[in-house]
């Protein structure tokens, strides 16, 4: 129940942020085009020219000072969407993409598959390396996983040592072939500073037909269980 609440809360948060950013961008455009009305008059919000000039000057000053709000919003989007170590989508954003793909597949009766990857020895041997070296290994593994991604696919980091590929228009059979290839190629010895570390990457595959409810939480729960089974 806690995991379910967390996932739903993350999705609502990212939707809310996207809507807020869009509204703010529209607000700026209206100000710059001198089309924003602020004072209620006969049911319509209006602003006098002096106030509009003040607002326009404020935006101009922000632009000139380097504190451009549009740039700030772009930065916020990037921080919210991407994981800085793996350059994959963040957990919140990849789940947002997954939910949209589930809606699309129901609407058009199409297939999609998910591949979860997990660095098996991350929590034990990595502790001896230190955080910087650990991040280097995670980054290298993520880079190799991303190399297999098609343009239509999406890759995200869902945990400290776990990653998710969302594959539209893909059956579980096709996803399983891809997952095996990636796992075999990525599971190898990595050079980190003066150390050599063997990294094994496990995987699990599910598609949109393997859960009757086609609920986001249920399909992620199924995927986590399969990953746990493969870990044994």
pLDDT of res. 1:
45
More confident residue, 73 or 166: 166
* pLDDT-derived band at 126, boundaries 50, 70, 90: low
Give the domain ranges of the chain. 2-81, 91-231
> Torsions phi, psi of 128, nearest 5?
-80, -20
Q: Homologous superfamily of 91-231 in CATH?
A: Reverse transcriptase/Diguanylate cyclase domain (3.30.70.270)
User: pLDDT tens digits for 54-67?
Assistant: 666 666 665 655 55
Cα–Cα separations (whole angstroms), residue 14 to 90, 93, 157: 11, 7, 16
Expressed in angstroms, the distance from the first to the final Cα of the chain is 25
7-19: average pLDDT: 66
pTM for this model (two decimals): 0.69
List pLDDT tens digits, range 130-180.
778 888 889 999 999 999 999 999 999 999 899 999 999 999 999 999 999
Name the nearest CA neighbour of 152 among 104, 190, 215, 118: 104
Lowest model confidence (mean pLDDT) among 101-105, 124-128, 166-170: 124-128
């Amino acid at each position: 129940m806690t995991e379910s609440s967390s996932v739903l809360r993350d999705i609502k948060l990212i939707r809310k942020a996207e809507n807020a950013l869009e509204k703010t961008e529209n607000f700026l455009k209206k100000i710059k085009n001198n089309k924003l009305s602020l004072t209620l008059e006969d049911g319509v919000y209006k602003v006098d020219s002096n106030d509009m000039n003040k607002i326009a000057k404020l935006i101009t000053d922000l632009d000139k000072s380097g504190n451009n709000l549009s740039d700030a919003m772009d930065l916020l989007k990037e921080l919210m969407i991407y994981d800085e170590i793996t350059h994959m989508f963040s957990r919140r954003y990849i789940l947002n993409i997954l939910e949209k793909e589930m809606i699309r597949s129901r609407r058009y009766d199409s297939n999609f598959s998910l591949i979860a990857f997990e660095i098996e020895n991350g929590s034990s041997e990595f502790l001896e390396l230190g955080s910087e070296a650990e991040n280097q290994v995670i980054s290298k593994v993520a880079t190799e996983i991303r190399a297999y991604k098609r343009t239509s696919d999406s890759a995200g980091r869902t945990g400290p040592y776990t990653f998710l590929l969302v594959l539209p228009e893909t059956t579980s059979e096709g996803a399983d072939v891809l997952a095996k290839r990636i796992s075999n190629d990525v599971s190898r010895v990595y050079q980190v500073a003066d150390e050599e570390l063997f990294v094994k990457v496990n995987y699990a595959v599910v598609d949109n037909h393997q859960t009757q409810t086609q609920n986001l939480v249920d399909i992620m729960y199924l995927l986590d269980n399969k990953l746990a089974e493969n870990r044994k």
